[in-house]
A and B are shown apart, each in its own frame.
Chain A
Amino acid sequence: MSLLLHAIVAAEPVAVEAPLVRVDAGTLSAIASPTEVEMLEHHTIVEKAHATFSACLPARYPTWVDTSQALRERLERREVDLLKALERVRGKAELAVTATWTTSQHEQPPLAASAPGRRYLLQRQREFAHADALRRRATEVAEQLEATLAALAVETQRALTPRPGVAVSLALLVQQRAIDKVKAAAQNLDEPQDVRILVSGPWPPYSFARLGMGEE
C-alpha cells in the first residue's frame, strides 16, 4: 500500500485520525495518507501536525513511499539527520516577509537601433543591466529588513528576486512564543518607496526542514 508522506514528527503519545496513518520508528514518527490527497489538504494536515506535536518537519509534496515498512526503514536509516532537523525546528514556526516591487520593472522605451542584430544585442545588454540593478536594489532591501528582523528570529533565509514582481522573500524561523512580536515588528517596518512589505504566517517550518546532502 503506497503512502503519501505529510510530516515527520517527534514520537509522542498522540493518535492520528483515520484514514491518516502513523508509522513509528524509534523516537520518530511519520504521518502519512494511504490515498492521494490534494496539495491544500496536505498543507492542512501538516499545519495540524505542527500544532499538535512539539516538533514537526513538513514533507515536500508529493513524497510517496511504497509501504509502511519502507517508510519505517527510511526513517531508521536517516534517524540521526532527522532528529537533528527536528531539534532545529522544535517549538518554532516560520514567518514569511515578502517585499514586492511597487512599480513595474519591465516597462522600457523601445530601442532606436535600426539593424536587427544591433537591436538584439542592445536589448540583451539592457536586460542584463536591468537584472543586475534589480538584484543590487533587492540586496539593499533585504539588508534593511534583516537589520530589524534577524535579531528577533532564530534563523533567516533570504531569496533575492525569486519571482517576477518580488524583490525579496525572507523566511524567518521564530520561537512560537515570539511569533506575535516578530510579526508586529515586520508589519511596522518602514517601507521604502519602491517596495511593499507583506507578512504571512505562521507557517509550519517548510523552509527549515531540509536535511544535509543525501546519503542514499
Chain B
Amino acid sequence: MQPPPPRQINLLGAPDEPNQLSLVELADRLLNRGVVLTGEAVISVAGVDLIYLGLNLVLTAVENLQPRQSHEPTAARDRRR
C-alpha cells in the first residue's frame, strides 16, 4: 500500500480552511511579533507603518558592501602590513 501523499501547506496567500489559517497566524506571530531584545523602530506616516527596521541589522551603503581591498591602492594596504 502506498503511503498517503504529504499534505501540502501553503503559508502564503489566502487561507481556505481553519487549519491553514492557524498556520498562517502562527507564522505571522512567530516572525512578525514577539519581543525584540535588540531594539526596534517603526517608521510611519499618518499612522501607517512604512518600514520596519530591526536595529540589529547593519544598514550600509551599497558601495560599502564591496570588499575593502578593491577600493584601496595596493601601496596603502602594504604600508599597514
Contact = CB atoms under 8 A, between A and B. Distances in A.
Interface stretch (A110-118, A123-131, A175-183, A198-206): A198-206
Interface in A127-170: 162-166, 169
> Main SS of chain A's interface residues?
mixed
Contact of A59 (B13, B21, B34): B34
Interface in B37-79: 37-42, 55
Contacts, number: 98
A198 B14 CA distance: 14
Contact of B14 (A5, A63, A164, A213): A164
A29 interface: no
Contact of B13 (A43, A57, A165): A165
A11 interface: no
A214 B36 CA distance: 9
Contact of A98 (B13, B25, B26, B38): B25
A214 B40 contact: yes
B32 interface: yes
A198 B18 contact: yes
Interface residues on A, range: 35 or more
Interface in B20-38: 21-22, 24-38
Interface in A56-92: 57-61, 63, 65, 71, 74-75, 78, 82, 85
Contacts of A165: 13-16
B35 A85 contact: yes
Contact of A206 (B15, B22, B30): B30
User: Ordered nearest first, which 8 A-B pairs have the shortest CB separation?
Assistant: A214-B39, A165-B14, A60-B34, A216-B39, A206-B29, A206-B33, A61-B30, A209-B35
Interface of B: 13-16, 18, 21-22, 24-42, 55
Interface of A: 5, 8, 39-40, 42-43, 57-61, 63, 65, 71, 74-75, 78, 82, 85, 96, 98, 100, 162-166, 169, 198, 200, 203, 206-207, 209-211, 213-216
